[in-house]
């Protein structure tokens, strides 16, 4: 029986242990990880995957692109796709820093909690200039929400907004917020608030969102205390708090892991599949 081989191309010096574990749990028989992968050196790795098997056996080889930097991962992913031609291709997945699967899970659960639609609603993403925040912004925008990303630097926030528009065709507002007071102003009038900041920093105090009548749903991607949104619990999964629905990192984490594992399994169903943000989010909505 042909073994299911997953080749992990990581832009960091060392391949992610997390991605290796989920890869095996998703159904790979063997995983080979390469660190320090770049668009310049990935070609030889890709050649090894596409010239060694033919016919129905080719679907048993797949590529996963990861690492901590989404921009670097996107560049490697594009280089992988350009190496393919005709039948010389294998299925691929991009999930640098877990950004695609994490954002897809968070947005899918939020949309479900909103009754299946966020069209016309205002969504604000605190610390939205990172990969999870940017992916969340794009997914929410495609759902019809009006989206704003908040960052400490106006230039960085605008650069992220420009990248989202270039990559996904979604216009996003950029907001500079250097202080807690600035962030409180940024969420005024918002219907959905996401927090995608770094570990150890509370971005929004409980008394602020509790008093903001427009807020319906809160999503926090940080599982380690202090959480990004005060007053939430990491285990919250559409739990009512002060008349609003709260979603914590562990509350969405179950779907994120199931989604990641399912996608690994799908890589081996055919030799021509590509799973990036759009495809991953579509599956997350089904699974949610």
What single DSSP character describes residue 227? P
Q: What angle do CA 179, 182, 185 make, to 5 degrees?
A: 155
Burial of 10 (0-12, 13-18, 19+ CB in 10 A): buried
Domain count, the chain: 2
Residue 187: predicted pLDDT: 98
Beta bridge partner(s), residue 5: 30, 61
Q: Distance between CA 153 and CA 133 in Å, rounded? A: 15
Considering the domain architecture, whether residues 111 and 220 belong to the same structural domain is answered as yes
- C-beta atoms surrounding 28 within 10 Å: 24
- What is the end-to-end Cα distance of the chain in Å, rounded? 34
Let me know whether 147 and 81 are in one domain: no
Residue 173 near residue 153, CB atoms below 8 Å: no
Do 112 and 246 reside in the same domain of the chain? yes
- In order along its 288 residues, the chain shows pLDDT tens digits of 899 999 999 999 999 999 999 999 999 999 999 999 999 999 999 999 999 999 999 999 999 999 999 999 999 999 999 999 999 999 999 999 999 999 999 999 999 999 999 999 999 999 999 999 999 999 999 999 999 999 999 999 999 999 999 999 999 999 999 999 999 999 999 999 999 998 989 999 999 999 999 999 999 999 999 999 999 999 999 999 999 999 999 999 999 999 999 999 999 999 999 999 999 999 999 999
- The tens digit of pLDDT for each residue in 222-261 reads 999 999 999 999 999 999 999 999 999 999 999 999 999 9
Whichever domain contains 93, its CATH number is: 3.40.50.10280
> Taking the model in full, what pTM does it have?
0.96
Say whether both 247 and 109 belong to one domain.
yes
What strand order describes the sheet that includes 146-151? 173-176, 146-151, 122-126, 192-195, 217-220, 244-247, 237-241
Statement to judge: residues 117 and 246 lie in one domain? yes
Helix (H) or strand (E) holding 282: helix 277-287
């Amino acid at each position: 029986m042909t073994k299911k081989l997953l080749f992990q191309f990581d832009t960091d010096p060392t391949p992610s242990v997390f991605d290796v574990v989920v890869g095996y749990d998703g159904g790979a028989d063997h995983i080979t990880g390469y660190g320090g992968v770049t668009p310049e050196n990935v070609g030889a790795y890709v050649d090894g995957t596409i010239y060694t098997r033919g016919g129905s056996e080719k679907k048993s080889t797949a590529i996963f692109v990861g690492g901590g930097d989404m921009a670097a991962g996107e560049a490697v992913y594009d280089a992988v796709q350009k190496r393919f031609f005709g039948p010389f291709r294998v299925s691929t997945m991009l999930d640098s820093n877990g950004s695609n699967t994490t954002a897809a899970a968070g947005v899918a659960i939020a949309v479900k909690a909103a009754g299946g639609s966020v069209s016309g609603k205002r969504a604000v993403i605190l610390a939205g200039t990172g990969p999870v925040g940017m992916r969340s912004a794009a997914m929410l925008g495609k759902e019809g929400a009006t989206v704003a990303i908040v960052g400490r630097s106006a230039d960085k926030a605008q650069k992220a907004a420009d990248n989202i528009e270039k990559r996904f065709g979604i216009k996003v507002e950029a907001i500079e917020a250097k202080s807690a007071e600035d962030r409180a102003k940024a969420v005024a009038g918002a219907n959905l608030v996401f927090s995608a900041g770094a570990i150890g920093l509370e971005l929004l105090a409980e008394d602020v969102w509790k008093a903001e009548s427009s807020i319906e749903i809160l999503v926090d991607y940080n599982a380690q205390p202090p959480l990004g949104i005060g007053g939430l619990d990491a285990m919250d999964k559409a739990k009512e708090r002060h008349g609003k629905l709260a979603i914590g990192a562990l509350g969405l984490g179950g779907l994120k892991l199931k989604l990641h594992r399912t996608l690994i399994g799908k890589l081996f169903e055919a030799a021509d599949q590509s799973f990036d943000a759009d495809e991953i989010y579509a599956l997350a909505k089904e699974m949610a």
